[in-house]
Amino acid sequence: MSRLLPAGAAVLMLTLPALLEALGQDFHLVLATRILVYALAATSLNLLLGYGGMVSFGHAVFIGIGGYAVAILASRGLDSAWISWPIALLVTGAVAWLIGSISLRTSGVHFLMITLALAQMFYCVFVSLSSVGGDDGLQMDRRSSFGFADGWPLRTDAGFYYTCLAVLMLALFFMHRLLQARFGMVLIGLRENAVRMGAIGYPTRRYKLLAFVIAGLVCGLAGVLNVELNRLVSPSMMHWTQSGTLIVMVILGGPGRPWAGVVGAALFLGLEELITHYTEHWQLPMGLLLLALLLMRISAWRPAWLPARSAAAGDAP
């Protein structure tokens, strides 16, 4: 079953555009593409949260940085994906290094609060910048192009879906190889006992910073795909509520599991789409369902910075 389920999911994702077209449900392709984009972002957070034990409450800032970089370049007439996408990743990587260098001087709850504070600073900066649209954000006239005829593959919905699927699959393969390598083993060791890993000679802060930058780069790529999908980027993408959504997705999928981001994004966005079909007050039933699912997940997962409940404490009235 562990092999059949991923294989079945891969076949479904590959045939989904043709299947939706046959059923006359082409508009659902945008939802499927959105799930792929958020799955990529949640997968990047899973590297920090699930494997590194670093609870970042400002991870969505990289979605905004990647999106703004592409949108600003497009507004200046540069719509070549060969140029704008690498520049967006370079900018996102630099911001990830800056935030990580400051945040990783702390750990636990302090790390969570500093990532939140720094992300909100970027949010406030972009809200106040009228040159990039302020609170309304920045629009793109059209998607970027790789230089092929008719802007293929980005400028058709099916082509863009397959582009996002290919990027997600490559990111999952990269994460798998990374976590199977020495770097991944050290990162998991840091999650379990950072003091012991430092005592045996590993540069703990350097490993954590590298993981933070890699996660920021992958999340920035999700931001690039997100702005290409919606042709709009706004400061709301950097807000702490978006970072909270990514954390919920990872916990729903199971932190520290390879498919956590994909499963969590599919569950969260699928439930949101389903409930909005029945009621405009979708937040209440959505919240109750998520609360039930999260309680089941959290009972099996506890961040390293939360103290384990002792037997004496459990017996206390």
The pLDDT value recorded for residue 28 is 87
Q: How confident is the model at residue 305 (pLDDT cuts 50, 70, 90)?
A: very low
Residue 232, strand partner residues: 139
CB 99 within 8 A of CB 41: no
Element (H, E) at 232: strand 232-233
pLDDT at res. 281: 77
pLDDT digit string, tens, across residues 245-269: 999 999 888 888 888 999 999 999 9
Q: Give the pLDDT confidence score for residue 211 in this predicted structure.
A: 95
C-alpha separations of 217 from 146, 168, 177, 295 in Å: 20, 13, 17, 30
Percent of the chain having pLDDT more than 90?
A: 60
Q: How confident is the model at residue 298 (pLDDT cuts 50, 70, 90)?
A: low
Closest of 5, 2, 27 to residue 16, by C-alpha: 27
H or E stretch at 139: strand 138-139
Residue 309's pLDDT is: 46
Determine the pLDDT at residue 62. 96
Torsion from C-alpha of 5, 8, 9, 11, nearest 10 degrees: 160
Task: Give the residue-averaged pLDDT of 109-132.
Answer: 93
Output phi, psi for 233, to 5 deg: -135, 140
Q: What is the mean pLDDT of residues 60-65?
A: 96
Closest Cα partner for 220 from 65, 103, 100, 74?
Answer: 65
pLDDT score, position 118: 94
With 0-12 / 13-18 / 19 or more C-beta atoms within 10 angstroms meaning exposed / middle / buried, residue 40 is: buried
Q: Report whether 49 contacts 55 (CB < 8 A).
A: yes
Residues 226, 172, 92, 82, Cα dihedral to 10°: -70
Per residue in 135-158, pLDDT tens? 999 999 888 888 876 667 788 888
What mean pLDDT, rounded, does the chain reach?
Answer: 87
pLDDT: which is higher, 163 or 11: 163
Statement: residue 53 has pLDDT above 60: yes
Question: DSSP string spanning 89-110?
Answer: HHHHHHHHHHHHHHHTTS-HHH
The Cα–Cα gap between 24 and 280 comes to 25
Can you name the residues that pair with 139 across neighbouring β-strands? 232
Its pTM surpasses 0.85: yes
Which band of pLDDT confidence, cut at 50, 70 and 90, is reported for residue 163? very high
What's the pLDDT score for residue 302?
53
The residue-averaged pLDDT of 267-276 equals 88
